[in-house]
Amino acid sequence: MRKLETKTKIKNIFFDFDGVIAESVSAKTEAFREMYLPYGDHIANRVVAYHISHGGVSRYEKFRHWEKAFFNKDINDAEVQILAQDFSDRVMQKVIESEEVTGAYNFIKKYNKDLKFWVITGTPTTEIKIIANKRGLKDFFVGFHGSPENKVYWTEHLIKKFKLNRSETLFLGDATTDRDAAKFSKLHFGWRENDENKLLFSHYKGLRFKDFIELERIIKHNIS
């Protein structure tokens, strides 16, 4: 993971979606809780704790983990899809309607012609494309990429496909999977701080921002 210095020029930005562009993390947290609450508060609380500490991990991986951990079940692909569809039915409209992270839309609209933007998320690719279209974001991004492939797969795939310079590429995320993908691919990383992830990033010393007004102020010299 690279340190973002004053002389660094950014030409490409990878955005996580939930918790970075949209304030949709809590909608997904509550949907997971609802799904496991019939098995008791103890399991539902463990589901929430795992979800928060493994932000950016796909729902498919999470369901496999929970079913094994709580019920000793190795579920097959068809069973995973049933759970994933249940989750999608509960949460998708809430994500579409969730508030933006302050300043996100204006930042994206302002800089999309000078910079190249991609979304890399744990949300399924088919679903994030629908969400982006409904939120009026589709035309501002080169592409939208999610599960079943993980974030490291996508950072490397996009770098190679578009011949991106790693030193000119910034990953904006709010989860450890975002930080880890940036570190693996030797990219700059910007952490979007919120109440749910403060403990996970308690020792993080790099670029951080609460909203896009603050982010623009911090990195304006790197993107102008």
pLDDT tens per residue, range 200-209: 787 899 999 9
CB 127, CB 88: distance < 8 Å: yes
Q: pTM to 2 decimals?
A: 0.88
Nearest to 24 by CA among 95, 90, 78, 88: 95
Mean pLDDT computed over 164-171: 98
pLDDT band at 198 (very low <50, low <70, confident <90, very high): confident
Measured CA angle at 92 (ends 181, 52), to 5 deg = 45
Closest CA to 120 of 181, 185, 210: 181
Sheet holding 12-15, edge to edge: 143-147, 116-124, 12-15, 169-173, 188-192, 207-209
